[in-house]
Structure 1
Amino acid sequence: MARAIPRRAPEPSMDPVALFTLQLLNALSLSALLFFIALGLTLIFGIMRVINFAHGAIYMLGAYVGVTTQTLTGSFALSLVLAPLAAALLGLAFERSALTRLYAREHSAFLLVTFGLALALTEAIRLAWGPDPRQAELPAALAGIVFVLDEPFPVYRLVLIGAGAAAALALWLLLHRTRLGLLMRAASQNAAMTAALGNDVAAVRAAVFALACGLAALGGALAAPLFTAYIGLGTSVIIDAFVIVMIGGMGSFVGTAVGSLLVGFAQTFGNFYFPELALGATYALMIAVLLLRPGGLFGREE
């Protein structure tokens, strides 16, 4: 995935305040896309204690399914439904058929199995869609611009900011205002006790994994009109996702949101002002945080 959302080159005479504001909005829209994949990753770890190396491949699957759905039906909205649904069903089947057999084993078993899924899914996408990159077209309603401080800014990037904020609010409400969220938090703290109280921990784990995969695929479908879907996209985004959760703290919802913002801002402003150092700045930020707080900003050392 590109390190920053493509932008129109600024005019030399652009007002500095307007320029900064546009870059701020670019950073927020990139952070929103990063949030979708990192949120799923941290949900799986926080509740199931599983590090899912296949999460980037799920994101890539969402991008390809989104592009194909829009190409066949002409409906961008439908692509935002079918892509996460397909990924959620795949995640559910994988969790029930493979992960459920490993919960009593060492964590290294999860690493190997999810890494194997990433390889298999990447090859399946190559066979199904071929090696050529694909890109979706924005619907006319979202392809326009608005003026921010008299400067044009794409409407779709504002939509991405809204989508990220809506996802954060929805997940917070799910975790803290619903019975399912209560069971998720209980299972993350003590799965054996939660099961002893008569709750179906297996169903909770399956729901968490399916939800996380659906969120990653939704992020891929949302990114498809901006970034080219290509073989290897999953490898690129999973690196960003791991950087985010390491900065914010593995398993922390708030940490994922903050980490997404920090990485999004570092990549956007770094690419604009210091393009040669942008990638290094992201990793320097991660190292600095881990030196000060080895468990991440909102995580716990284990």
Structure 2
Amino acid sequence: MINWANFVSQVFNGLALGALLALISSGLTIIYGTLGVLNLAHGAMFMLGGYAGYVAYSYTGSFLVAVLAGSLFVGLVGILMERVIIRHFYSRPHEDQLLVTFGLGIVFVELVRLAFGSQSQLVPAPAIFSGITSLGFMFYPTYRLAVVGIIAVALTALFLVLYRTRIGMIVRAGIEDSMMVDALGINVYRVFMIVFGIGAMAAGFAGIVNAPVVSLTPGIGDDILVQTFVVVVIGGVGSFPGAILGGLIAGEIISITSMINPGYAYVMLFAAMTLVLVLRPYGLLGTRGRE
């Protein structure tokens, strides 16, 4: 039965999901905008962040340590991926990039399945955010509210890195014209490595932050990858603000549609993407990018 309380609850759910998608999509859109690489292993990196955080939590009992460990581990994995494999595919066709990142994603998933099995794992929410909170007109899980705040802080930090630092200026210049950045004497390959690491770290951070909400399984990154690509298309490829806007829109579409008929949640999401592609082929906040 649909009532006001259910609707408001789903709006909050959509906000939490949208913030999560915005963070993951921001990493993906930065990588593609700067490097021109469609990283199909991004969902697996989200999963790796959750499992790395789970291992850290198992040994320390500290959620903060788990968040730091999950983020840094996936950031390191991203840097190693870029230096060892991805770097050799910049000049290759996009089909090759898709295949190699898709293959890497499968490798990560199967390695985790080998190490932890297929059973789900749970990272409990920190004690300070446990229980429920009264909003006056409804009760809502405290940690889901905290997730919105945590991700908002992470997105703000990422925004400051991109728009208030020298490396951010170089990254944004690389999105517009990487050849010109190279011509100015800047080591673009070092920038590419950092960008890939930052994008991967964003996915890993999201993975461990989301772990107390949805239990961990090796395939948890598959669905989130599909949603993330839709978010990037809706917001605009290469646009950081577009990733945030697209994430919030996608989160609300999935959540509110699920309240009415869960079977049509993805239908409505892809319908929204199709509508955006028809009306604005480069996304809501996107511009004509690399050819």
Equivalent residue, structure 1, for 2:100: 113
What one-letter code is carried by the residue in structure 1 that aligns with 2:149?
A: G
User: Bigger CA drift: 218-227 or 126-135?
Assistant: 126-135
The answer to whether the Cα contact below 8 Å between 1:39 and 1:256 also exists between their aligned partners in 2 is yes
Q: How many aligned positions are there?
A: 289
Equivalent residue, structure 2, for 1:70: 57
In structure 2, stretches of 5+ residues that fail to align are: none
Equivalent residue, structure 1, for 2:215: 228
CA distance in 1, matches of 2:197, 2:128: 31
User: Would the alpha carbon gap of residues 276 and 236 (structure 1) be closer, same or farther in structure 2, given more than 3 Å must change?
Assistant: closer
Equivalent residue, structure 2, for 1:172: 159
- Work out whether 1:295 is the aligned partner of 2:286: no
4+ residue segments displaced more than 4 Å: none
The answer to whether the Cα contact below 8 Å between 1:88 and 1:214 also exists between their aligned partners in 2 is yes
**Which of residues 137, 151, 168 in structure 2 aligns to 1:181?**
168
- Work out whether 1:211 is the aligned partner of 2:219: no
- Work out whether 1:201 is the aligned partner of 2:158: no
Q: Percent of counterpart pairs with the same letter?
A: 38
The answer to whether the Cα contact below 8 Å between 2:9 and 2:140 also exists between their aligned partners in 1 is yes
What one-letter code is carried by the residue in structure 2 that aligns with 1:268?
A: S
User: Bigger CA drift: 52-61 or 156-165?
Assistant: 156-165
Equivalent residue, structure 2, for 1:6: none
Equivalent residue, structure 1, for 2:88: 101
**Which of residues 236, 241, 261 in structure 1 aligns to 2:248?**
261
The answer to whether the Cα contact below 8 Å between 2:118 and 2:218 also exists between their aligned partners in 1 is yes
Equivalent residue, structure 2, for 1:56: 43
User: Bigger CA drift: 89-98 or 180-189?
Assistant: 180-189
Equivalent residue, structure 1, for 2:79: 92
User: Would the alpha carbon gap of residues 19 and 234 (structure 1) be closer, same or farther in structure 2, given more than 3 Å must change?
Assistant: closer
CA distance in 1, matches of 2:140, 2:177: 48
Deviations 1:78-118 (A, max 9, x none): 11000011111111011001111222222222112111111
In structure 1, stretches of 5+ residues that fail to align are: 1-9
- Work out whether 1:149 is the aligned partner of 2:136: yes
CA distance in 1, matches of 2:111, 2:263: 35
The offset of 1:188, in angstroms, is 2.0
Equivalent residue, structure 2, for 1:33: 20
Give the structure-1-normalised TM-score: 0.91
CA distance in 1, matches of 2:106, 2:126: 33
Equivalent residue, structure 1, for 2:117: 130
Is the helix fraction higher in 1 or 2? Answer: 2
C-alpha RMSD of matched pairs (Å): 1.6
The offset of 1:274, in angstroms, is 2.7
